Structure 1
Amino acid sequence: MSSHPTGTRKVLTRKPVPVNELVLGMHVIELDRPWLETDFLIQGFIIQRQDEIESLQRQCTFVYVEGIEHTVDVSLESRTEKSGLLSRTMGAQVNKSSAIQDKPTKQSGKPTEQTRTIYINKISSGQEMQVARDSYSSAKTVAKNIMEDLRIGRMLDMNQARNTVDDVVDSLLRNDDALVWLTKLKNQDEYTAEHSLNVCILSAAFARHLGHDEAEIRKIGLAGLLHDIGKAKIPVEILNKPGPLDADERALVRQHPNFGRNLLMTSASSEHYTIDVAYSHHERVDGTGYPRALQAHQIPYYAKLVAIVDTYDAITSSRVYDTGRASMEALEIIYNSRNSHFDTDLTIEFIRCIGVYPPGSIVVLTNGEVGVVIESNKNSKLRPKVVLLKDSDKEWQEKRTIDLSLGDVDEDNKTYAIAHEVPNKTFDIDIKALLQEGWLNFVAK
């Protein structure tokens, strides 16, 4: 008896479609131009929103979508697949199986196209920056006080935590760039407090991007602020240990979700969603997380969302035992963990939310000059506003601002474009120091 499967099945092949004929639900697998010349961060995606169609219409003439074209003999297909004859690439070699997994899950919990709220920045990031700086400073003090109070046995001041989140969300609703910019200003010595605040800010910004209503954004922000509250029960010398943890120390640190759950359950004013996130933000959709090894359908939606943000901020932060990585590298790591560690749909939306070059990124231009992204461009994510700080020889130069979306040119009359991002402190550029010393004061104007 033959061991090969028999029968026929439909084969999905690519089909060119003019951009004015695109509709929701189509699976775009290739463009009429290189992906890197467009604003799309994911090479191959399901059209889920009208603004994605509009963006494709602005940038392309036609695209290739996946469509059922013909049937094949399954027994023949089985043999040819083993020899690799049916392998194919899409963009940067994203295969068909991974693209199919990028379809949104019914359990994602994010707003639908019909229910999502569309937010528009009310003021510029420059106008919001000074208020955002004050809010960030105050919020960091609160985050630090929360941890210190819990360490010495005091009760959690939930009203203070909520007021802090309200200030954060109010700023994000006016402009979602300014506070996100400030999450780049990391201090290794204050990692625990800064990380809690950054996860609060980025989770709320992500919720805004997803289209949650204001009340939901505030809930998600509060859950983000308190997600690591259990670390208040971990000795500081273990959290700040400069070398690898031993087995007992690792086991203790992995208990912080349990500690966080217990701390929040003893607070009469705690909400169930903050307990869910503190307890479940280290769970992974494939069941490899901790402390309960939950499967995807068992993990609360807020916890899935905060898990992605928590990982992103941790990867981009320098700690006593590791150097922070560039935003793009962190996003690549998270993207490669979609459908194993992280919810696929939320992963893709988070990448769209953060963008390739978020505010505060240090970037090298194609002509060798170096600058800092000061404002993202919602309609052209690869073409933000940049303040140039160093020339092609990496020497300090008189600062000036360029807008890549306007096609600004350099002294050789070549259009400026970003080559790549580098981590903070590369080429002696320290974002926090520059802001404190006045180099970036124009941002607050």
Structure 2
Amino acid sequence: MSSVEESKDVIRIPVSRLGLGMFVVAIDRKESKVAISNAGQIKHKDSIAKLEKAGIKSVWVDVERSSDSCGLKKKAAPLKARKPVITRATKQAQAKNILTEAKTLVRKVLSETYEGKAVEVAPFEDIADNMIESVMDDADALKCVSALRTKDAYLLEHSVNVAFLLVTFGKHLNLDKSLLKEMAIGGILHDIGKIQVDNKILHKPGKLTEAEFEEIKKHQTYAIDIMNETVGLSQVSKDVCLMHHEKLDGKGYPKGLKGDEIPQHGRMSCIVDIFDALTATRCYKEAMSPAAAFKILMSLTPFHLDQTLVYEFIRCVGIYPVGSLVQLSDERVGIVWESKGRDALNPVVKCFYSLKHRRYTEVTFVDLKKSDLHIERGISPRSLDVDPSPFY
């Protein structure tokens, strides 16, 4: 018989080979294994001497519970599969693909709707699922990508951004995923009625006449017809689409709904639609900074917009949202890069330009929590006279 016999993690060892730190769980008595009440590590040589004096020839030792220094070889712990490290750049690339796919789908549906074809809901469900997954994983990556927008693609980008903002806002309010999905679909489709509006009015660079504004408002009437013909669209999705111009005081359109007639998701769509429109560059206006847009949202409470939800939306997006441009106190300009888990005034800023010297600078990340610098103001891309898009 060999001097050491294995049984899983417990092995039999002759008392003569016992060492300090070994964890004894049982003794051999007349060739039978007998558990002992005082199981534990051998801490003194006296304990070994007592076993020898009692005539014990061998004992059972738990290898895993013995100390690392006792000389016994423990089993190697199974290697855990390493989770691949996904960088912010990778997440942004994934987010960009989602937004591109969404805009392509919106373009296709607008074209088909113009031709009188019915909207198919299934493709929007897939986009909504991907959007929710991306927001749950890292909303900041999607925010940075959605900050890149062009005035020529406004209708496409606005529709997708409204959907994304609704998902982000809904996540902030701890809404159920199934509800987020329905809201996202409604957000993507919320301006679908505009396909029936005259392009000259829709893209007019100057102020609209009263008659032209009435024509613009008809996009919601057109949307009612489109929604009614769309099979499989939930009531929540329809509400988001048809309520984003309603007002709490009943002075909105298309139905002049008032107060409790507008459910929470309908009220959210009003806030998100206005915010995204204000922060977008159009052929007739510059983009507002988020801070300036927040002031306008607040001015519309409590008569037009739900005040509690506006406050929550500002908390959700942040005073300086990820992806927005800011000027630091040393006159450097940068992109708000990271704000998760931070107070609103101290994000990480990716600096790339100096207003003071009117030139690009070496790209540096400034953690305002650890810096003497602070954000002086939010700025719009147009006011820079340089293109920030390569730095996203």
Is the TM-score greater than 0.5?
yes
Which structure has more relative contact order (CA 8 Å, sep 6+)? It is 1
Change (3 A) 1:299 1:123: farther
Structure 2 residue identity aligned to 1:422 = I
Match of 1:106 in 2: none
Deviations 1:291-317 (A, max 9, x none): 222211111221100110000000011
Partner residue, 1:307: 270
In the aligned structure 1, how far is the partner of 2:348 from the partner of 2:271? Answer: 27
- Picking from 333, 338, 341, the partner of 1:375 is 338
Q: Which amino acid aligns with 1:418?
A: I
CA contact (8 A) 1:147 1:193 kept: no
Q: Which residue of 2 aligns with 1:395?
A: 359
Spell out, residue by residue over 1:288-341, the C-alpha distance to the aligned partner (whole angstroms, 9 max, x if none): 211222211111221100110000000011112221111110011101212111
Tell me: CA distance 1:123–1:220, structure 2 relative to 1, closer, same or farther (3 Å): farther
Does the aligned pair in 2 maintain the 1:388–1:400 contact within 8 Å?
A: yes
The corresponding residue for 2:213 is 250
What does residue 420 of structure 1 align with? Answer: 377
Q: What one-letter code is carried by the residue in structure 1 that aligns with 2:341?
A: K
Q: Name the SS of the counterpart of 2:139 in structure 1.
A: coil
Q: 1:123 offset after TM fit, Å?
A: 6.5
Distance 2:192 2:236 in 1: 14
CA contact (8 A) 1:230 1:260 kept: yes
**Equivalent residue of 2:381, what SS?**
coil
Asked if structure 1 preserves the Cα contact closer than 8 Å seen for 2:131 and 2:164, the reply is yes
Q: Deviations over 1:14-41 (max 9, x none)?
A: xxxxxxxxxxxxxxxxxxxxxxxxxxxx
Displacement, 1:203? 0.7
TM-score normalised by length of structure 1? 0.66
Q: Could you tell me how far apart the structure 1 residues matched to 2:384 and 2:218 are?
A: 39
Q: What is the deviation of 1:425?
A: 2.8
Q: What amino acid is the match of 2:264?
A: Y
Deviations 1:220-266 (A, max 9, x none): 11111111111122122221122233333221211111211210111
> Which AA in structure 2 matches 1:134?
N
Is structure 2 residue 143 aligned with structure 1 residue 184?
no
Q: Conserved in 1, the CA contact under 8 Å of 2:322 and 2:339?
A: yes
Are 1:139 and 2:102 matched, yes or no? yes
Specify the SS of the correspondent of 1:254: helix
Give 1:357 shift.
0.8
Identify which of 83, 100, 120 aligns with 1:157.
Answer: 120
In 2, Cα distance between the equivalents of 1:383 and 1:207? 24
Figure out how many residues of one structure are paired with residues of the other and give that number.
307
SS in 1 for 2:110: helix
Q: For residues 418 and 363 of structure 1, what CA distance do their matches in structure 2 show?
A: 7
The answer on whether the counterparts of 2:184 and 2:237 sit within 8 Å (CA) in structure 1 is no
Aligned Cα root-mean-square deviation (Å) = 1.7
SS in 1 for 2:266: helix
2:171 is matched with: 208
Quick one: percent identity of the two aligned structures?
Answer: 30
Is the aligned partner of 1:317 residue 2:274?
no
Q: Is the 8 A contact 1:258 1:291 kept in 2?
A: yes
Q: Equivalent of 1:236, from 185, 188, 199?
A: 199
What one-letter code is carried by the residue in structure 1 that aligns with 2:378? E
Structure 1: gaps (5+ residues): 1-121, 409-414, 441-445
CA distance in 2, matches of 1:240, 1:327: 23
Indicate the SS of the match to 2:148: coil
Structure 2 spans left out of the alignment, 5+ residues: 1-84
Q: Is the 8 A contact 1:308 1:342 kept in 2?
A: yes
> Aligned pair in 2 of structure 1 residues 206, 429: CA closer, same or farther (>3 Å)?
farther
Give the residue type in structure 2 aligned to 1:264.
M
